[in-house]
């Protein structure tokens, strides 16, 4: 506060001023103040007191305008949030901001968050709190759909096979396919059973479930390079992570000159009950064939069994076609 006092002396003597209520540095806190002054000459003459009353005021900054914008920029499972804040001070004072629940790097995990801010001027004026609430969500990509060309359960040896997959991300994040068992998009595959798996990873690290396909490269006998190895033979199909078995064909071809009391059986492991269900059974004198479409999502493993009481059938080719969903 700037204070000015003026007085004259009739005799032309020098005048000094005596104050009451005046601070040494002329700084005053907010509120009403009264300062008194009188003039004195160097011969003891003293004037009457004169007073000045004044008010020191400081208006607080305005309540901030505050907003949050969630981005898809991710780090360690958290997402960058951009904040916008503005406030004005009626006195033109410099404004700074005080936050609650603001992270140091402005990254937030999945969930709902509330951040508060208020404005402060350099004289201690403080605004009301402004509050913003925002939610962060992150969805995994969809389980990929696999396409194979040529299709069907079996492929002639040496045939180029093209395998692709498609998936989408609900949040629009960029995605990457991670393959197992696929050397390249188009490749030739070895004789026998071939399994290819794929999952999708988005730019935030969220992963889809695995998807899988099984196909056979068949030899000249149509066996897929697989054999029954004895008169009492079991072949187990242990399934694939990320897939359930959708259909199968089990064919044990007849052997010339054989006639016996044979039988065949197919069992499936039911993921819902944890039990092995008998899916096919039949008796025969020479060779057998089973084929079945299965309820989607029920069976994760299969057991193919063939019994013969003659060792002439101890080794014979069999055809096992397998589809997965």
Residues 199-228: tens digit of each pLDDT? 999 999 999 998 888 888 876 555 555 565
Residues contacting residue 220 through CB under 8 Å, at least 6 positions apart: none
65-136 matches 145-217 in fold: yes
Asked if 217 and 194 touch (Cβ cutoff 8 Å), the reply is yes
Average pLDDT for 254-270: 88
Asked if 46 and 38 touch (Cβ cutoff 8 Å), the reply is yes
Residues 276-303: tens digit of each pLDDT? 999 999 999 988 889 889 998 899 888 8
In words, the CATH class of domain 65-136 is mainly beta
Q: Is the pLDDT of residue 314 over 50?
A: no
Helix/strand number for the chain, H first, E second: 0, 25
Two structure tokens written together for 114: 């509330």
Q: Is the pLDDT of residue 152 over 80?
A: no
232-322: CATH topology is: Jelly Rolls (2.60.120)
- What is the reported pLDDT for 231? 65
CATH of domain 145-217: 2.60.40
- What is the reported pLDDT for 244? 78
Q: Is the pLDDT of residue 114 over 90?
A: yes
- What is the reported pLDDT for 175? 97
Asked if 315 and 227 touch (Cβ cutoff 8 Å), the reply is yes
- What is the reported pLDDT for 69? 98
User: pLDDT above 70 covers what percent of the chain?
Assistant: 90
Give the chain's mean pLDDT: 88
- Residues 178 and 8: their CA atoms lie apart, in Å, by 96
**Domain-wise residue ranges, the chain:** 15-56, 65-136, 145-217, 232-322
- End-to-end C-alpha distance for the chain, whole angstroms: 84
Quote the pTM value: 0.64
For 31, the 3-state DSSP assignment is strand
* Residue 121 zone, left/alpha/beta (φ > 0; ψ -120 to 50; rest): beta
| Confidence label for 313 from pLDDT (cuts 50, 70 and 90) | very low
Average pLDDT for 151-177: 92
Q: Among all chains, which residue has been given the structure tokens 């508060």?
A: 116
């Amino acid at each position: 506060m700037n204070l000015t006092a003026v007085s004259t002396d009739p005799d032309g003597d020098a005048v000094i001023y005596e104050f009451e209520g005046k601070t040494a540095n002329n700084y005053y806190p907010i509120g009403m103040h009264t300062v008194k002054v009188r003039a004195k000459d160097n011969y003891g003459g003293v004037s009457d007191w004169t007073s000045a009353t004044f008010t020191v005021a400081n208006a607080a900054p305005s309540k901030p305008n505050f907003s949050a914008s969630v981005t898809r920029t991710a780090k360690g499972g958290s997402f960058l949030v951009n904040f916008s804040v503005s406030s004005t001070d009626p006195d033109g004072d410099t404004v700074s901001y005080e936050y609650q629940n603001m992270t140091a790097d402005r990254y937030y995990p999945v969930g709902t968050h509330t951040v508060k801010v208020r404005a402060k001027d350099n004289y201690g004026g403080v605004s009301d709190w402004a509050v913003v609430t925002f939610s962060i969500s992150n969805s995994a990509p969809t389980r990929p759909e696999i396409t194979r060309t040529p299709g069907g359960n079996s492929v002639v040896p040496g045939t180029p096979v093209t395998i692709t997959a498609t998936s989408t991300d609900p949040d629009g994040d960029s995605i990457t396919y991670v393959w197992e068992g696929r050397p390249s998009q188009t490749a030739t595959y070895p004789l026998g059973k071939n399994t290819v798996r794929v999952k999708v990873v988005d730019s935030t690290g969220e992963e889809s479930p695995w998807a899988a396909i099984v196909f056979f490269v068949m030899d000249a006998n149509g066996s897929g390079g697989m054999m029954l190895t004895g008169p009492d033979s079991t072949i187990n199909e242990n399934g694939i992570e990320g897939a359930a078995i959708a259909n199968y064909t089990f064919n044990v071809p007849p052997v010339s000159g054989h006639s016996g009391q044979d039988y065949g059986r197919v069992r499936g492991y039911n993921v819902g009950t944890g039990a092995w269900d008998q899916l096919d059974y039949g008796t025969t004198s020479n060779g057998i064939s089973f084929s079945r479409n299965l309820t989607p999502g029920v069976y994760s493993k299969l057991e193919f069994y063939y019994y013969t009481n003659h060792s002439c059938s101890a080794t014979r080719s069999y055809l096992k076609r397998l589809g997965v969903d």
